[in-house]
């Protein structure tokens, strides 16, 4: 017969009584159990008080196989292969006692995934079966798992544990959502509104500079940065493969602000008057204009900050100068920066 047409059709009235024998009956007070109970703890063929011996488990598997074969219009597998299927099914059902999960978790898996877990736990006892016998075994096992899960849902403790589990998972979900909301910028436009005002403030505050040593008639004290700024050139070290016959290639020159763009952290140092502050002003102004992505520049005057009585301020306190046009939203410094 066609392998794909092999199936198992068993009525609940046939399978349910056999499935019930796999598990111990609920005693008085079973519904008061608060802690989750693993499937392995209420199977009837394990533990000190076994109600089902291994021989009886094999007989139960044989009865399932016999009923399944009888329910088919055409015999799904040869007669001489039935004992091997019975042995494989008995070993698989016996692995219920090795499952490290509760009945609630098993129901959540679904009958097909539960069947797969049992096959893995029993070390694939069907590996030596023929193709027809394997397909018959798989369908019969899935059918049995479907009735096993239905049996779990009918136990008095299942509904109570399901509600407890659902409440616990909802509490965890609410806590994770609250944490996510706390980390996410507000959607009401608070940050963008502040950034717009703050960037305009930075662009205006740092857009002019004082050039010392120039004594011109009617010359202004402060000059527009766009007119007076001269880009500082940086030298890029030659790569190892840029040498020819032992002669090092000349260093490559590039604007300092371009060199900074290639690094997340940069230490800028130099003698007085070398242009460090002017370069910082230029970076702040061009960043505030949006020429360097969506970063927000924070210019901190360290000479003034180190003289504070309380020492250096926290990031939230030093994110904007005291003359800034508005107070930043909570945790702005942690979400944005230059």
Q: What is residue 44's predicted lDDT score, i.e. its pLDDT?
A: 87
Residues 141 and 36 in one domain: yes
Residues 259 and 157 in one domain: no
Residue 181 lies in a domain: no
The pair of three-digit structure tokens given for residue 305, joined into one six-digit string:
């900050």
* Count of domains forming the chain: 2
Q: Tell me how far apart the alpha carbons of residues 168 and 103 are, in angstroms, rounded to a whole number.
A: 16
Percent of the chain that is helix, strand, coil (3-state, to 5) = 55, 5, 40
Range of the domain at 223: 190-240+248-335
Domain boundary among 133, 148, 176: 176
Chain position carrying tokens 């002019």: 208
Residue 267 lies in a domain: yes
User: Can you list the positions of beta strands (E) in the chain?
Assistant: 208-209, 223-224, 233-236, 252-255, 291-294
3 state SS for 54-96: HHHHHHHHHHHHHHHHHHCCCCCCCHHHHHHHHHHHHHHHHHH
Q: What is residue 220's predicted lDDT score, i.e. its pLDDT?
A: 66
Q: Tell me how far apart the alpha carbons of residues 155 and 172 are, in angstroms, rounded to a whole number.
A: 26
Mean pLDDT over residues 297-305, rounded? 80
Residue 261 lies in a domain: yes
Residue 91 lies in a domain: yes
Domain boundary among 176, 210, 225: 176
Measured on CA atoms in the order 314, 320, 324, 327, is the torsion positive or negative? negative
Render pLDDT for 225-236 as a digit per residue (tens, 0 to 9): 777 777 778 777
Residue 182 lies in a domain: no
Residues 38 and 96 in one domain: yes
Q: Which residues contact 124 (CB under 8 A, 6 or more apart)?
A: none
Q: Tell me how far apart the alpha carbons of residues 121 and 173 are, in angstroms, rounded to a whole number.
A: 31
Residue 226 lies in a domain: yes
Q: What is residue 2's predicted lDDT score, i.e. its pLDDT?
A: 35
Between these two residues, 191 and 113, which has the higher pLDDT value? 113
Mean pLDDT over residues 59-67, rounded? 92
Residues 318 and 172 in one domain: no
Render pLDDT for 154-180 as a digit per residue (tens, 0 to 9): 877 777 777 777 788 888 888 888 888
Model's pTM, two decimal places? 0.48
Q: What angle do CA 159, 42, 12 make, to 5 degrees?
A: 65
Q: Give one word for 269, left, alpha or beta, with left for phi > 0 and alpha for psi -120 to 50.
A: beta
Q: How confident is the model at residue 335 (pLDDT cuts 50, 70, 90)?
A: low
Q: What is residue 135's predicted lDDT score, i.e. its pLDDT?
A: 92
Most confident of the following: 18-32, 33-47, 57-71, 205-219: 57-71
Residues 113 and 166 in one domain: yes
Residues 262 and 303 in one domain: yes
Q: Which residues contact 55 (CB under 8 A, 6 or more apart)?
A: none
Residues 151 and 207 in one domain: no
Domain boundary among 124, 153, 176: 176
Residues 100 and 44 in one domain: yes
Residues 133 and 61 in one domain: yes
Burial of 77 (0-12, 13-18, 19+ CB in 10 A): buried
Between these two residues, 186 and 132, which has the higher pLDDT value? 132
Q: How confident is the model at residue 238 (pLDDT cuts 50, 70, 90)?
A: low
Residues 37 and 148 in one domain: yes
The pair of three-digit structure tokens given for residue 92, joined into one six-digit string:
């698989």
Residues 144 and 201 in one domain: no
Give the rounded percent of residues in the chain with a pLDDT score beyond 70: 75
Residue 185 lies in a domain: no
Residue 53 lies in a domain: yes
Residues 197 and 161 in one domain: no
């Amino acid at each position: 017969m066609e392998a794909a047409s092999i199936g198992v059709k068993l009525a609940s009235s046939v399978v349910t009584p056999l499935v019930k024998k796999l598990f111990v009956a609920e005693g008085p007070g079973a519904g008061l159990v608060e802690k989750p109970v693993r499937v392995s703890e209420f199977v009837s063929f394990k533990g000190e008080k076994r109600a089902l011996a291994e021989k009886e488990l094999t007989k139960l598997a044989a009865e399932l196989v016999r009923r399944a074969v009888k329910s088919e219009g055409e015999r799904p597998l040869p007669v001489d292969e039935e004992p091997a299927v019975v042995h494989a099914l008995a070993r698989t059902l016996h692995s219920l006692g090795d499952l490290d999960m509760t009945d609630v978790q098993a129901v959540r898996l679904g009958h097909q995934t539960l069947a797969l877990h049992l096959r893995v736990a029993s070390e694939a006892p069907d590996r030596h079966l023929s193709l027809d016998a394997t397909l018959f075994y798989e369908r019969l096992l899935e059918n049995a798992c479907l009735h096993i899960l239905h049996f779990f849902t009918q136990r008095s403790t299942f509904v109570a544990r399901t509600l407890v589990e659902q409440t616990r998972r909802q509490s965890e979900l609410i806590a994770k959502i609250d944490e996510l909301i706390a980390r996410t910028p507000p959607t009401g436009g608070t940050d963008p509104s502040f950034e717009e005002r703050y960037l305009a403030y930075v662009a205006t505050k740092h857009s002019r500079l004082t050039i010392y040593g120039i004594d011109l008639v009617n010359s202004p004290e402060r000059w527009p940065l766009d007119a007076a700024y001269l880009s500082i050139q940086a030298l890029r070290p030659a790569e190892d493969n840029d040498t020819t016959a032992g002669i090092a290639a000349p260093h490559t020159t590039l604007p300092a602000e371009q060199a900074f763009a290639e690094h997340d952290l940069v230490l800028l140092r130099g003698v007085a008057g070398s242009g460090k502050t002017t370069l910082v002003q230029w970076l702040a102004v061009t960043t505030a204009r949006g020429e360097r992505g969506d970063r927000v520049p924070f210019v901190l005057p360290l000479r003034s900050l180190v003289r504070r009585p309380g020492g250096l301020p926290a990031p939230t306190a030093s994110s904007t100068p005291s003359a800034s046009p508005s107070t930043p939203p909570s945790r702005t410094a942690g979400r944005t920066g230059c």
